[in-house]
Structure 1
Amino acid sequence: MNVTWVLGYPTGHEQGSFLTVDLGGTNLRVCYITLPGSRDKEFEVDQQKYKLPNEIKSGTAEQLWDFLSDCLQKFVEEKGLKGTKKEPIYLGFTFSYPALQEYIDHGILQTWTKGFDIKGVEGENAAGQLQEALDKRQLPIKMIALINDTTGAMIASAYKDPKTIMGVIFGTGCNGAYMEQCGKITKLKDSGLPSDTLMAINCEYGAFDNARRVLPLTPYDEAVDRDSPRPGEQAWEKMSAGLYLGEIFRLVLVDLAEKGLVFKDQDTTKLREAYALDTGALSAIEDDESPKLSETRTLFKDVLSLDITEPELELCRRLAELIAVRGARLCACGVAAICSRNQISSGHVAADGSVANKHPKFKRRWGKALGELLDWPKDQGEDPVVLTSAEDGSGIGAAVIAAMTLERAEKGQRAGIRSF
Structure 2
Amino acid sequence: MVHLGPKTPPSRKGLLNDIPKDLLDQIKHLEELFTVDTAQLKTITDHFVNELEKGLSKTGGSIPMIPAWVMTMPTGKEKGSYLALDMGGTNLRVCEVTLLGNRDFDITQCKYHMPPEMKTGSSEELWDYIADCLDSFLKQHHTVDDEVEAKKIHLGFTFSYPCSQTAINNGTLQRWTKGFDIDNVEGHDVQPMLAAALKKKSVPITVSALINDTTGTMVASNYTDPETQIGVIFGTGCNAAYFETVGNIPKLEGMVDLPPDTPMAINCEWGAFDNEHKILPRTSYDVQIDNDSPRPNQQAFEKMIAGLYLGEIFRLVMLDLHGEGHVFEDEDVSSLQEAYSIDAALLSLIEEDPFENLTELEDAFESRFGISTTEPERKLLRRLAELIGTRSARLSACGVAAICRKKDITKCHAGADGSVFNKYPHFQKRGAQALKEIFDWPDDLAVADYPIKVQPAEDGSGVGAALIAALTLKRISEGLPVGMKAEFV
Scaled by the length of structure 1, the TM-score of the pair is 0.94
Query: What is the rounded CA distance, in whole Å, between the counterparts of 2:132 and 2:299 in structure 1?
Result: 31
Q: Which position in structure 2 is the counterpart of 1:284?
A: 349
Q: Unpaired segments of 5 or more residues in structure 1? A: none
In the alignment, structure 1 residue 339 sits paired with structure 2 residue 404: yes
Give the percent of matched residue pairs that are identical in Structure 1 and Structure 2: 54
Counterpart of 1:316 in structure 2: which amino acid? L
Query: What is the rounded CA distance, in whole Å, between the counterparts of 1:278 and 1:84 in structure 2?
Result: 50
Deviation at 1:261, TM superposition (A): 2.6
Query: What is the rounded CA distance, in whole Å, between the counterparts of 2:365 and 2:419 in structure 1?
Result: 22
Q: Which position in structure 2 is the counterpart of 1:76?
A: 138
User: 1:272 pairs with 327, 332, 337, which one?
Assistant: 337
Query: What is the rounded CA distance, in whole Å, between the counterparts of 2:299 and 2:260 in structure 1?
Result: 31
Counterpart of 1:78 in structure 2: which amino acid? Q
8 Å CA contact 1:20, 1:32 repeated in 2:
yes
Q: How many residues align?
A: 418
Cα 1:50–1:232 change in 2 (3 A) is farther
In the alignment, structure 1 residue 393 sits paired with structure 2 residue 457: no
Deviation at 1:61, TM superposition (A): 3.4
Q: Unpaired segments of 5 or more residues in structure 2? A: 1-64
Q: Which position in structure 1 is the counterpart of 2:70?
A: 6
8 Å CA contact 1:114, 1:172 repeated in 2:
no
Query: What is the rounded CA distance, in whole Å, between the counterparts of 1:251 and 1:118 in structure 2?
Result: 32
Q: Which position in structure 1 is the counterpart of 2:172?
A: 108
Q: Which position in structure 1 is the counterpart of 2:318?
A: 253
Q: Which position in structure 2 is the counterpart of 1:349?
A: 414
Query: What is the rounded CA distance, in whole Å, between the counterparts of 2:198 and 2:291 in structure 1?
Result: 37
In the alignment, structure 1 residue 404 sits paired with structure 2 residue 471: yes
Counterpart of 2:453 in structure 1: which amino acid? V
Counterpart of 1:374 in structure 2: which amino acid? F
In the alignment, structure 1 residue 46 sits paired with structure 2 residue 111: no
Query: What is the rounded CA distance, in whole Å, between the counterparts of 2:125 and 2:276 in structure 1?
Result: 33
SS at match of 1:7: coil
Segment drifting more, 396-405 vs 361-370 = 361-370
Segment drifting more, 377-386 vs 85-94 = 85-94
The answer to which structure, 1 or 2, has the higher relative contact order (CA under 8 A, 6+ apart) is 2
Deviation at 1:244, TM superposition (A): 1.4
User: 1:372 pairs with 437, 453, 456, which one?
Assistant: 437
Q: Which position in structure 2 is the counterpart of 1:55?
A: 117
List per-residue Cα deviations over 1:198-218 (Å, max 9, x = no partner). 111111001112233332322
Deviation at 1:117, TM superposition (A): 4.1
List per-residue Cα deviations over 1:61-105 (Å, max 9, x = no partner). 344323322322222222244585882421101111221110000
Q: Which position in structure 2 is the counterpart of 1:197?
A: 262
Deviation at 1:161, TM superposition (A): 0.8
Query: What is the rounded CA distance, in whole Å, between the counterparts of 2:195 and 2:290 in structure 1?
Result: 34
In the alignment, structure 1 residue 93 sits paired with structure 2 residue 93: no
8 Å CA contact 2:168, 2:482 repeated in 1:
no
Segment drifting more, 46-55 vs 11-20 = 46-55
Q: Which position in structure 2 is the counterpart of 1:320?
A: 385
CA-based RMSD = 2.0
Cα 1:56–1:372 change in 2 (3 A) is farther
Scaled by the length of structure 2, the TM-score of the pair is 0.81
8 Å CA contact 1:115, 1:229 repeated in 2:
no
8 Å CA contact 1:33, 1:396 repeated in 2:
yes
8 Å CA contact 1:91, 1:145 repeated in 2:
yes
Query: What is the rounded CA distance, in whole Å, between the counterparts of 1:212 and 1:59 in structure 2?
Result: 37
Larger radius of gyration: 2
User: 2:219 pairs with 146, 155, 158, which one?
Assistant: 155
Cα 1:122–1:373 change in 2 (3 A) is farther
